Structure 1
């Protein structure tokens, strides 16, 4: 267990607050010391942004407030949860009460939230192994088959926690679901949520419930669990487990010593933050007239350099030629894998079918970091030739697999393997 009482005390959040505090101190010193004015002549450019940064820093308090209000009802804050969702849920609670806030939270677990949440599962081996079943759970949820998706997700959670921790399942009495510097794995998060979900359900009940009580559901004692609020809370817990697993993969089970940043480092960090914000504000999605070169019959060299559509074309070319090492290097989840391992996995996943031909049909720039590239491709295998229209999710990311604004230098486009699931799992029943 961590000794931190608030999520806002987590190191990454505390570091941001120290950065703002340090920047404020530097600004004051700059006005008082001529030497600093000579060393950093552009510092006044930051002054107008400081008040904005201070206002933005208030978001660091949202996860604590969210858990305070909703953890006892089966919702917890986690890294990949939208801060806007947290903020609006808190506002709904304060204005209209718990029921209105929960209605809002349930509504946010829609097709888009599930799609982009599941995309992140490709970046972790244990989640990727379970992708077929996760996709089935998603299909059941969107079709309102809550009786099917909820127990499936609960069972997957248990196995995931066991494999991720190399210790015990999620719902075991001695499970430790805390991690240093992780919102989901704060002691007020997953640990508290699992305690709620494992409450004893001693009697068979036909009354509708609003919390995914694991034992009652999987042991057949809760007979009216099949509703949207229980299913949505189960998905929320599943996404929180992914963030906990990510923290463990980054070595955050225990804290590590961290040196205090120098004034120069504080200024560089502040400068980078402002530059990123400027680029995000400047970005605009491309219009239809910008894609005069589409449709394109599979020639990557005819597509713009460092574009998502060119990455997709290069990927398909590598697949057609059986070059699995560069193909694997184009996938978003392989950024930290050894080349031999990722090439081997790519051959196993993509080697069953050959690309006969392909055409880049359309591109939709969805966010500064993501685009969807539509392709029409023909594949072949033994006694099987078929055509598929695929919508390939492409993300612009840094060397650690984190999303970047496409206007920033130093990133690369990477593709989400699950975009090709209809081909990879074509004959999987």
Structure 2
């Protein structure tokens, strides 16, 4: 694995995943001599690759100097339309509109709050999103800036916040955020020091200047949106650090690489098409509520708890910390749940709050007493990533991993 250049990749074409595809595509071109039937497929693959990689370079060409970063949570289809205009202002407008899109942000925030290092900030992230929707942009900025520092400080072992990081520390292997105009290029402005008071409108995420009181006029949607952009970029940074630390896997074929890209596009389409829904036994009937896969998972979870089947119960718990061996983990689950015997339960209602997030309201019976309890469920794959419902590689798990976290719990409504 070749380390990335300290200043970042000169072009998106230099990012290893795209560089590898290009090499494989050249090799595939040679096959046309003996397999002319591949010509149409190859042309489609080339077109798609140039669309994706070219979009990254055009993005940085147009708004890189404004310190926006291309990250994986952006909706590429919508972004391409803006990029095709060739206008910096249109691209910036589209970026802001994506952060204003409740559907896109709901999924992005579920993903963010599922990250172990961001879990302690979940309530603050919800508050920042509420402030953003209600146009309290100064509050968004003042909430997210400390979170950026705290999050980066907990990734790795050196306990250093974002404001202490050198540019080269933010260049990671095989990621679009490591373009030479990407995340690392934002650090100079983020860390810049100021000594005088400035009351002019501010459109940059000047961390030091804002937190030290040098700027007074940052209450606007551009600065607040850049704070969200930086947060989601840092999620990609964290993932890239984890991936780069893994042993090198067997190289994917070109077909497999594009299958992954196609899979990502399909996931995006599912997210875009998804609509929130809710049903209750009282209003819609038991069959409707029980027809929801997330409810079926909750029933299986509660049945396992009631039966004392802690091995099965363990399969429905979403742990943010690394699990021990399966036997040891089942023992941990037993020690948590065995002291609180579930006598019975009923399912009352379900609310799908995101394409990978559902809330199931139940009534639980303990020692002859009923407790209204709400379970928050995430649809996660084997790697722990939140996936849209319908993705057969993922399943439903609760983030409430102890009786104390479940019994009597009520979650704030979606705003």
Tell me the TM-score normalised to structure 2 length.
Answer: 0.74
2:77 is equivalent to residue 84 of structure 1? yes
C-alpha separation in 1, matches of 2:83 and 2:110: 27
Aligned twin of 2:4: 2
| Higher deviation after alignment, 212-221 or 238-247 | 212-221
Shift of 1:228: 1.6
DSSP-derived class of the 1:250 partner: helix
Over 3 Å counting, the alpha-carbon distance change for 1:18 and 1:327 in structure 2 is farther
Q: How far apart are 1:249 and its partner, in Å? A: 1.9
Is 1:395 matched with 2:379?
A: yes
Q: Is 1:235 aligned with 2:228?
A: yes
Task: Indicate if the aligned counterparts of 2:356 and 2:388 stay in contact, CA closer than 8 A.
Answer: no
Cα gap change, 1:177 to 1:5, in 2 (>3 Å): same
Partner of 2:146: 155
| Unmatched tracts of structure 2, length 5 or more | none
Matches within 5 A, 1:7-406: 7-30=12-35, 44=37, 47-58=39-50, 59-92=52-85, 94=86, 97-110=87-100, 111-167=102-158, 168-172=160-164, 174=166, 176-252=169-245, 269=256, 295-296=285-286, 307-318=293-304, 326-330=312-316, 337-338=323-324, 339=326, 340=328, 357-359=345-347, 361=349, 370=355, 373=358, 375-379=360-364, 387=372, 394-395=378-379, 397-398=381-382, 401=385, 403=387, 406=390
The 8 Å contact of residues 180 and 186 in structure 1, kept in 2 or not, is answered as no
8 Å CA contact retained: 2:301, 2:316: yes
Q: Relative contact order (C-alpha < 8 Å, sep 6+): which is higher? A: 2
SS in 1 for 2:84: helix
Post-superposition Cα deviations, 1:395-426, rounded to whole Å, max 9, x if no partner, equal: 36355747489476xx24134639x9996576
Distance of aligned partners of 1:194 and 1:342 in 2 relative to their CA distance in 1, 3 Å threshold = farther
* Contact in 1 for aligned 2:371/2:407 (Cα 8 Å): no
| Cα shift at 1:318 | 4.2
Other-structure match for 1:417? 399
Given that 1:356 and 1:380 are in contact with CA atoms closer than 8 Å, whether structure 2 keeps it comes out as: yes
Q: Cα deviation per residue 1:335-374 (whole Å; 9 max; x = unaligned)?
A: 974455698599989x9997963427568798xxx46656
TM-score between both structures, scaled by the size of structure 1: 0.72
Contact in 1 for aligned 2:171/2:178 (Cα 8 Å): yes
* Distance across 2 between alignment mates of 1:270 and 1:198: 37
Distance 1:424 1:205, change over 3 A: farther
Q: Decide which moves more: 182-191 or 67-76.
A: 182-191
- Contact 1:161 1:169 (8 Å CA) reproduced: yes
